[in-house]
Amino acid sequence: MKKFLPCIVVSLLLAILLCPRPGLTAVDRESEVREAVTAFVSSRTADMGWEVRIRRITISDALKLPPGTLDYEVLAPQQWEGWGTASMAVLARQNDRLVRNIPVKVDVEARTDMVVALRQIEHGATIAAGDVALQKREISHNSNRASRRVEEVVGKKVRTSLKANQAVRSDQIEKVPLIKSGQLVTIIAENDVMKVSVLGKARSSGAEGDIITVQNQNSFKEISARVLNATTVQVAF
């Protein structure tokens, strides 16, 4: 037995030297992929002013990747807005050679300040300062167009009834018209040298700053004019 012992030791040493070292385990590779996806989501949403939390990263396939250092590139759908569920591809490269396309699904929670109705606001009502407040809410398909500043909605008219605790979207409100169609108005045209005013009739309604159609009551010509206040419009001169 003693004479075979040196042979056994040599054989074990050769086996250790000649056998390739094991690479990173699947768990280690999964950690790398998760880190790459997390970094991508953070970068994608960095300038949006949201509070972002990844709820879930799902890697469906076994990570059969070669040992050694790998570089990862994350590809997401171009239309992905940075929140909700999305399917992505993680490209694993080694020495600039693609070794695996890894399908990944992520579920991202994003929260941001948005204007919320504090009570039910009926259709056609004008929003007062006490009707709304700025609250942090999760972005969803119904609230991703929610107004972000209270001053954007106060003084505007509700186009559809709003429930209490509901985020106020920009498409649910409109400016209150100062001039209504059929109303008599003063049409002014001025420059640095002179100012002219004539009587006109509004052919459409509009809020302050809106461009409406008015009719000159002297010539009966219809022209476009900007609403200045409840009685006056201005035309280019």
pLDDT at 96 > cutoff 70? yes
Q: Which of 219, 218, 216 is nearest to 203 (CA)?
A: 216
Q: What is the pLDDT of residue 5?
A: 47
What would the CATH number be for the domain defined by 184-234? 2.30.30
- What would the pLDDT profile of 210-233 be if each residue is shown by its tens digit? 999 999 999 999 999 999 999 999
Q: What is the pLDDT of residue 127?
A: 95
- What are the residue ranges spanned by the domains of the chain? 24-110, 111-174, 184-234
- SS3 of residue 84 by DSSP: strand
- What would the pLDDT profile of 37-87 be if each residue is shown by its tens digit? 999 999 999 988 899 999 999 997 777 888 899 999 999 999 998 999 999
Strands 232-234 and 184-190, by their bridges, are parallel
**Would you say domain 24-110 falls under CATH 3.30.70?**
no
How many CB atoms lie under 10 A from the CB of residue 27?
Answer: 8
Residue 186 has phi, psi (to 5 degrees) of: -95, 125
Higher-confidence residue of 18 and 187: namely 187
Side-chain half-sphere CA neighbours of 3 within 13 A: 0
> What is the second-level CATH architecture of the domain 111-174?
Alpha-Beta Complex (3.90)
- What would the pLDDT profile of 138-184 be if each residue is shown by its tens digit? 998 777 788 999 999 999 999 999 999 999 998 899 888 899 999 99
Tokens representing 127? Answer: 């929003």
Q: What is the pLDDT of residue 27?
A: 55
Higher-confidence residue of 96 and 3: namely 96
Higher-confidence residue of 193 and 5: namely 193
Check: CB of residue 8 under 8 Å from CB of residue 34: no
Tokens representing 5? Answer: 């012992």
Q: What is the pLDDT of residue 12?
A: 45
